[in-house]
A and B are shown apart, each in its own frame.
Chain A
Amino acid sequence: MTPTAPRLKLSLASLPLVTGAAALIGGAAALIGALTGGAALIGGAALIGSAVPTGVAIAQAATPAGNAQRGQHLYLAVGCYECHGTTGTGAITGPKIAPNPIPFPAFIYQLRHPLGAPSYGNIKMPAYGEAVLSDAQVADLYAYLASIGPSPPASKIPLLNR
């Protein structure tokens, strides 16, 4: 654990909340259940474009309850936004992680033991061990990502269809 609560340097005023942030956390648990059916291999890693070590299994884990608002605070404070964008859209620096985040077991595994080859600028995703991000905080982060609503489809955006 960090000795003090993570400092939110980038204030919510300067990085306004994404629309749709009020979605329920319970949705995440439902998603995990639907996708994993319980015990999960790190199949979710495939969703983020990483090689999957065979035989690595994660104990069955339900999606813990988390607080989306705290999660957004953390998301900015611990730097997730730097590579994945402030709403998980992804960029050249990191893949899309919201909406519809990968199942929680895969999510927490990826945070603790990042997979995937170095990408942009040969920067590899940093590890977020328990010393800097507790399981409860990870749950908050996950709740934030799960709360992010969908963007308008490209087909409905005139600037993307000219």
Chain B
Amino acid sequence: MAKRVARQTHPLAAVSRRGFLKGAALGGAALRGAALGGAGAIAVPVTAVAQAPEPRQLPPVPDQAAEQGQPAEVTGQRRRLATSAAGGLPGSDYMVDVIRSLGIEYVAFVPGDTFKGLHESVINYGLLTNPKLGLIPCMHEEVSVAICHGYAKIAGKPMACAMHSTVGLQHGCMALYNAWADRVPVFALVGHQADANKRVGLVQWAHAVYDGPELVRDFTKFDDTPASLSDFADSAVRAYKFAMTPPYGPVLLALDEGLQENPVPGGRAPAIPRLPLIVPPQGEDAACAEVARMLVGAAHPVILADRCARTPAGLARLIELAEALQAPVIDAHGRFNFPWRHPLNQTGSARDLLSRADVILGLEMTDFYHASAAAPPTAKRISVASTDLYFKSNYQDFERFTAVDIAIAVDAEATLPVLTDAVRRAIRPSLRSALRERGATLARQHQEALEESRTAAALGWNDRPITTARLCMELYDKIRHEKWSLVNGTSFQSYWPQRLWTAHEHYQYMGDAGAYGLGYLPGASLGAAVANQSQGRLTVAIGGDGDLMFTPSFLWTAAHQRIPLLYVVHNNRAYHQEVMWVQVIAGERQRGIDRCHLGTTIDDPYIDYAKLAQSMGVHGEGPITDPNALGPAIERALAIVKRGEPALIDVVAQGR
């Protein structure tokens, strides 16, 4: 296990910048290993600095001419020293060091004057010294939080975002709720002005709040408003630890302006606490043995998985369990839990299998009740879920109560090896042929479901609007030989990717928004693309037009940061889910069922999403209405993405 030695002093106070830079680069890599290592850790390798984008253009400064041709580090050093000479070591420089000691590589934000100290430290210190703390500029806090959300699901660790006091956090809070409901770590920061005498005008008073984090306390795992720099360091490490202990979740620290902007007292930065190896809670042996006994003894066991595979290891572990039992796996699609073309993947036969199930194992289920509703009441239900360990009462994202026979409150992924071992021990030799037979039957069933899906996908193949099956298959045709990562939830595309594509890597799918708050995918897909970029993966997203219009400014961030992402707009010209809901109530009332488009459809005028993209510097093409034009358009867009830039295509498609 890698160990990290806590620094006793701020690096600039102790060593020369050049010396520190060399050491910090090595130390940063080791830190990441420490943060992510261990039993439940993400195995995704992380390059030390490469993915932090260089600032494309330094902000104009009075002596800009003198800077031309100088390396960024030298420029930064000179600026840093000037700041230092003016006021000593800024508190927010120390905050930057604490943040990057956590292995955090980026901070995404819309500027806000309550964190101007931190902002300045990011651009004049964090960006210019190693390990770099990269900056992702945004135009809406909902985007910056969602970037963290998507990034964490691919990278397996948090990104930081900073928000302006009050109004900034208010803009970002829905995205925090999505992350909370999706059990995703986000390291959020918000500016705070505690000293009323420092509020220089009416705006500062309007943006001041006594307890800012209260706004999101119902859906963050931890928040704090530290009163000193050492308090900040402790809280930051504590927050990181909470965020990364299953169930994962967002955390928030409010940073006082004085703390950011004043020099470090005495010029000596406080020590940064060690970052622990975080070991997720694991199932107890006897409980696992009992579950194994039930599963092995069942005639028709079913495994349900939702957010089971937190990491690539979780995917492999679920395969081992399913294969040991030769039991069907039904994927609720919260993560990439199980290979889509594995013979035991029986998601397409869920209703049939559940109707006969006698034992159901639910792994990190969000909605166990509805996911297993087709099962007979006599079926035994076993829940293995970390969500039982930590929850709050106000927001009801814990879903409908499910009566279970055994509830094991642990991290499912970390528990799978113990459970699988117990299953293997419980299988008597006499049972093996029956298990093989069950596996063979399920394999045939998987193949039949695949053929049925192909037949269904052919329906309306040449229709306009383009069917979602055609859309998905045209896209797959162009990416299937790439190292692709599909980063949207697929329910709006009738799950065609899961039904027809071949996927077996953890990064190839990451689930949906969590709380289904609109505006998620634009930012989340960008964050995922940032994480995928360093791994040489191609990031693609299929997103609704309604979702896009909540957070269209992500396009500017994508272009500005040159983030390679293919964004396919599934343009059904409506808030389609809501059209259907209004249709339901209109059906009940039996008046004006032909008027449900009012307030739900996005027409008169139609929005030109290609132009929207182009207006922000992104390659945009569309609206594409001819299904035969779709493949070539995807090809053109992919050529842009492979050059390292974002591209958007607008596809006029069926509702689902």
Contacts and interface: CB of A to CB of B under 8 A. Distances in A.
Interface in A94-110: 96
Interface in B440-462: 454-462
Contacts of B457: 154, 157, 160
Contact of A154 (B455, B491, B581, B588): B455
B454 A160 contact: yes
A126 B584 contact: yes
B462 A121 contact: no
Interface stretch (A7-15, A27-35, A37-45, A57-65): A7-15
B603 A151 contact: no
B583 A82 contact: yes
Contacts of B576: 82
Interface in A58-95: 77-79, 81-83, 85-87, 89-93
Given A9-B603, A85-B460, A126 B586 contact: yes
A123 B580 contact: yes
Nearest to B495: A92
A132 B583 CA distance: 12
A131 B591 contact: yes
B588 A127 contact: yes
B577 A121 contact: yes
A129 interface: yes
Contacts of B592: 2, 132
Contacts of A19: 462
A151 B459 contact: yes
Interface stretch (B385-393, B426-434, B594-602): B594-602
A18 interface: yes
A153 interface: yes
Interface in A104-145: 120-129, 131-133
A77 B586 CA distance: 13
Interface residues of B, number: 52
A37 B596 CA distance: 37
Contacts of B467: 85, 89
B482 interface: no
Nearest to A15: B465
Contacts of A132: 586-587, 590-594
A159 B458 CA distance: 10
A160 B593 contact: no
Nearest to B476: A159
A128 B591 CA distance: 10
Contact of B494 (A14, A81, A91): A91
Contact of A81 (B455, B593, B655): B655
Contacts of B454: 154, 160-161
Interface in B491-525: 491, 494-495, 500
Contacts of A121: 577, 580
Contact of B463 (A18, A126, A159, A161): A18
Contacts of B652: 14
A87 B655 CA distance: 12
Nearest to A132: B593
B465 A86 contact: yes
A89 B463 contact: yes
A19 B463 CA distance: 8
A129 B590 contact: yes
A93 B587 contact: no
B460 A18 contact: yes
B480 interface: yes
A159 B474 contact: yes
B370 interface: yes
Contact of B594 (A6, A93, A120, A154): A6
A79 B593 contact: yes
B284 interface: no
A16 B464 CA distance: 6
A152 interface: yes
Nearest to B459: A89
A85 B654 contact: yes
B178 interface: no
A10 B464 CA distance: 13
A131 B595 CA distance: 14
B656 interface: yes
A151 B463 CA distance: 9
A129 B596 CA distance: 16
Contacts of B409: none
Contacts of A6: 594
A126 B461 contact: no
Q: Which residue among B370, B576, B596 has the maximum number of chain A CB atoms within 10 Å of its CB?
A: B596
A15 B594 contact: no
A159 B627 CA distance: 13
A91 B593 contact: no
B456 A86 contact: no
Interface in B589-633: 590-597, 601, 603, 606, 625
B477 interface: yes
B29 interface: no
B468 interface: yes
Given A2-B594, A93-B655, 15 more contacts: A7-B594, A9-B601, A14-B573, A16-B625, A85-B654, A86-B465, A87-B463, A89-B467, A93-B656, A120-B656, A126-B587, A128-B593, A131-B590, A132-B594, A151-B461
Interface of B: 370, 454-465, 467-468, 470, 473-474, 476-477, 480, 491, 494-495, 500, 573, 576-577, 579-581, 583-584, 586-588, 590-597, 601, 603, 606, 625, 652, 654-656
Name the 10 nearest CB pairs between A and B, nearest first. Answer: A126-B587, A6-B594, A89-B460, A89-B459, A92-B494, A91-B656, A154-B458, A154-B454, A132-B593, A9-B597
24 contacts: A2-B593, A7-B595, A10-B601, A15-B464, A79-B583, A83-B656, A86-B460, A87-B459, A87-B460, A87-B463, A89-B456, A89-B463, A91-B654, A92-B494, A96-B456, A120-B491, A123-B581, A126-B587, A132-B587, A151-B459, A151-B461, A159-B473, A159-B474, A159-B477
